[in-house]
Amino acid sequence: MANQAASEAATARKEAARALAAASEQIMLALRESQPQVEALGEALGQLAAALTQPGGLANTDVTELRADLRRAVTRLQFYDRMTQHLGHVQDYLSRSAQQIGSPEPSAANWDKVHQQLADRLLSDTQRFHLGKNFFEGKLASGDTQERKSRGPAVPSDTDLF
């Protein structure tokens, strides 16, 4: 009986550690994926600022070029929506992990549900791949998760713009 309790406690600690590692990796990925978009946004805004501060103001500015610069800047802002969605899913995953850790009887089946729910909400195969790196034994690592398009409509809180 004591060996079984010790084994269950070790399994619970292992699952908690895997959940934290997975969440950490997802946060790192969200930040890494957003960096090129932030740089491109900065360049687009710099071009807009340069056009608006030319001697003579807007009178000497090509409006078509200004519109194109503005369109590029707005498009680059979409990274923020994607990053916010990704980090929102990770925050929800951390919250569900904390509930699982604090539950009186954490079970492997409940952990599987917590992990799978994040996998189902992630926005890209790259994000699911990084999640799967933390779950070598499970179906996440075996590629058994469905691609986003084949999983049907997203839940109301999910918005896939890309």
DSSP string for 111-162: HHHHHHHHHHH-SSHHHHHHHHTT-SSSTTTTT-SPPGGGG-SPPTT-----
135 Cβ contact partners less than 8 Å away, ≥ 6 residues apart? 18, 22, 115, 141
* pLDDT of 149 above 60: no
Tokens representing residue 61 in the block: 């500015």
What is the pLDDT averaged over residues 32-58? 79
In this structure, is residue 60 part of a structural domain?
yes
Q: Which of 107, 149, 48, 77 minimizes the C-alpha distance to 115?
A: 107
Residue pair 91/34 in contact (Cβ under 8 Å)? The answer is no
Range of the domain at 43: 8-145
53 assigned to some structural domain? yes
pLDDT-derived band at 160 (thresholds 50, 70, 90) equals: very low
pTM surpassing 0.85?
no
Nearest CA among 34, 148, 146 for reference residue 86: 34
Residue 153 lies in a domain: no
Q: Is residue 154 part of a domain?
A: no
- The reported pLDDT for the residue numbered 94 is 92
On whether residue 100 sits in a domain, the answer given is yes
Residue 105 lies in a domain: yes
User: How do residues 58-106 score in pLDDT, each as one tens digit?
Assistant: 666 677 877 887 888 888 788 888 888 899 999 999 998 988 888 887 6
pLDDT score of 110: 86
CB 141 within 8 A of CB 150: no
**Which range among 69-78, 85-94, 127-136, 149-158 shows the weakest confidence by mean pLDDT?**
149-158
Count the domains in the chain: 1
pLDDT band with cut points at 50, 70 and 90 for residue 148: very low
Greatest mean pLDDT among 3-17, 20-34, 39-53: 20-34
For residue 31, give the nearest of 83, 85, 90 by alpha carbon.
83
Report yes or no: 158 and 117 within 8 Å, Cβ to Cβ: no
Question: Would you say residue 151 lies in a domain?
Answer: no
Average pLDDT over residues 34-41: 84
Residues 26/97, Cβ–Cβ less than 8 Å: no
- Runs of H (alpha helix) within 53-77: 63-76
Q: 49 burial class (0-12, 13-18, 19+ CB within 10 angstroms)?
A: exposed
Question: What band does 136 get if pLDDT is binned at 50, 70 and 90?
Answer: low
Is residue 162 assigned to a domain? no
